Amino acid sequence: MSATEGHPQTFAQKALARSAGLPSVAIGQVVDARPDVVLSHDNSAAIRRIWQEFGQSRVLIPDKIAMTLDHAVPAPTTKHAQNHAEIRAFVAEQGIANFFEVGRGICHQVLSEEAVVLPGQVILGADSHTPHFGWMGAFGAGIGRSEVAVLWATGELWLRVPESMQIVLDGSLPPGVSAKDFALRVIGDLGADGGLYASVEFGGSGIAAMSLASRMVLPNMMAEFGVKNAYIAPDATTLAYISERLVRRTTRQGAPLAAEDARTLVAAGALYPDAGATYAAVHRYDAAALEPLIACPHSVDAVVPVAQVAGTRVQQAFLGTCTNGRLEDLAEAAAIVRGRRIAAGTRFLVIPASSEVLADALRLGYIADFVDAGAVIGVPGCGPCMGNHMGIPAPNEVTISSANRNFRGRMGTRDADIYLANPAVVAASAIAGKIIDPRHLDAKSVVSTSQAVDPYSVINHQ
């Protein structure tokens, strides 16, 4: 009889039990977890300075450390450049294999594409969107810099086993409605602290029907719901994607895993909650009843239908981030801007979440669509998401963004408004120069190439 029989366990219980080397754990129990992956990014230099207080010459877990440079890339100032240089020196000195340079992309996207994290694993990261990895059925939680330093030194950290909450999506989303709208619906209904400390397990036919890229939106956005982690059960598509990426990465790193072995390894690690596990709450949603939504300044839970704020002038539209900067997001936006022009007085920033997304978008012609429409293409990374790297709004300007956070000052300017919506709404608003439901975009705003106006001359005539 297995240890969990008779005591059905949630995903969080199973993942933390495995990570703590225990047969089973109770909800509320504090365990010493040994995460499989420890994530940090541009904050790694600051973490290194904390770690140095321990007086070690080598980190204890070089193979579990994963790092990207993504938050302010390429370096906008000398100070940022020094910060990056310090991180590169540390990576070389400690032999960190899973290090990803400037331009490779946003940590959560890159570690997913590279299968640095696998289903069922525990990843702790000095980044609040680490719950992201729930898309593949991993346990991801955000922690602080000191905690990452402690992990580098000791490999373990105390974690409380969270209560779990189930969120079920039945049916399939109507056209024009995306995973982002579902996430905003949940946060709008239950509040920015509706999932505080909880592990959210998604389920239902609506989730199963989603592409992997769409699934990534949900655990990612749950950071704005206060959760510790979120989870989507890995299915055959997830396992196949991760196995293939694992082969690719191990080959590149010089220790290739055979395809068959990768598949076995990945499937063996996956964890699924037991039937009858304990949930603090269950929330059910009907996908057919959802509509395009928007989060208004300055809170992610200030959610209304797009129609309610339609007509609000926008000076900046931003498509990107770990939430909605993937190929399917760019595809959707490109289909909207194709043959149209960005409105005069509005700038459209497009920043692919990774170099892989950028390469695919180039091949598929999306980047040309954006540039032809007058958009600005940025270096894969976080871009203006957190006010650290260009694309900063002027006071009193309005930005519509596909990101996850619209707090006051988030993009670097205190008195600027940020609205959050799905990629189609962002792209349509860039074309209209005001917030608009893409379904209402005027067919007349499509210009044939012969009538096309030079976007720069339009701006100059303002």
Min CB(128)–ligand SF4 separation in Å: 7
Which one of 82-90, 148-156, 259-267, 378-386 is the stretch in contact with ligand SF4 (CB under 6 A)?
378-386
Which one of 165-173, 222-230, 256-264, 359-367 is the stretch in contact with another protein (CB under 8 A)?
222-230
**How far apart are alpha carbons 331 and 336 in whole angstroms?**
9
Q: Which of residues 98-137 bind another protein (CB under 8 A)?
A: 125-128, 130
Q: Which residues pair with 165 in a beta bridge?
A: 200, 281
| Pairing status of strand 303-305 against strand 293-295 | antiparallel
Can you give the C-alpha Rg of the chain in angstroms?
22
Which one of 46-54, 256-264, 427-435, 454-462 is the stretch in contact with another protein (CB under 8 A)?
46-54
In this structure, the dihedral spanned by the alpha carbons of residues 380, 110, 144 and 60, taken in order and rounded to 10 degrees, is -130
Listed residue (35, 213, 233) closest to 117, CA to CA: 35
Residue 53 sits in the site that holds another protein (CB under 8 A): yes
Residue 382 sits in the site that holds ligand SF4 (CB under 6 A): yes
Q: In what order do the strands lie in the sheet with 303-305?
A: 303-305, 293-295, 417-420, 398-401, 316-320, 347-351, 376-377
**How far apart are alpha carbons 212 and 215 in whole angstroms?**
5
Listed residue (182, 421, 414, 192) closest to 309, CA to CA: 421
- Smaller CB distance to ligand SF4: residue 239 or 300? 300
Interface pick for ligand SF4 out of 38, 165, 200, 322 (rule CB under 6 A): 322
Residue 396 sits in the site that holds another protein (CB under 8 A): no
Min CB(125)–another protein separation in Å: 8
Contact characters 333-352, another protein, x per CB under 8 A: --------------------
Min CB(290)–another protein separation in Å: 24
Interface pick for ligand SF4 out of 129, 180, 326, 410 (rule CB under 6 A): 129
Min CB(226)–ligand SF4 separation in Å: 15
Min CB(80)–another protein separation in Å: 6
Residue 127 sits in the site that holds ligand SF4 (CB under 6 A): yes
Residue 386 sits in the site that holds ligand SF4 (CB under 6 A): yes
User: What phi and psi values does residue 122 have, to the nearest 5 degrees?
Assistant: -110, 125
Min CB(248)–ligand SF4 separation in Å: 23
Residue 29 sits in the site that holds another protein (CB under 8 A): no
Listed residue (429, 121, 173, 140) closest to 289, CA to CA: 173
Q: 349: how many CB neighbours lie within 10 A of its CB?
A: 22
CB under 8 A, 24+ apart: contacts of 364-371: 364/327, 364/331, 364/334, 365/334, 366/330, 366/331, 366/333, 366/334, 369/334, 369/337, 369/338, 370/330, 370/333, 370/334, 370/337
Return the one option of another protein, ligand SF4, none that residue 79 interacts with (CB less than 5 to 8 A, by type).
another protein
Residue 404 sits in the site that holds ligand SF4 (CB under 6 A): yes
- Smaller CB distance to ligand SF4: residue 287 or 300? 300
Listed residue (167, 192, 108, 184) closest to 425, CA to CA: 184
Min CB(310)–another protein separation in Å: 26
Q: List residues near another protein by CB under 8 A.
A: 30, 42-43, 45-46, 49-50, 53-56, 71-72, 77, 79-80, 83, 125-128, 130, 142-147, 149-150, 153-154, 158, 192-193, 196-197, 224, 226, 228, 299, 301, 386-388, 405, 407-410, 412, 414
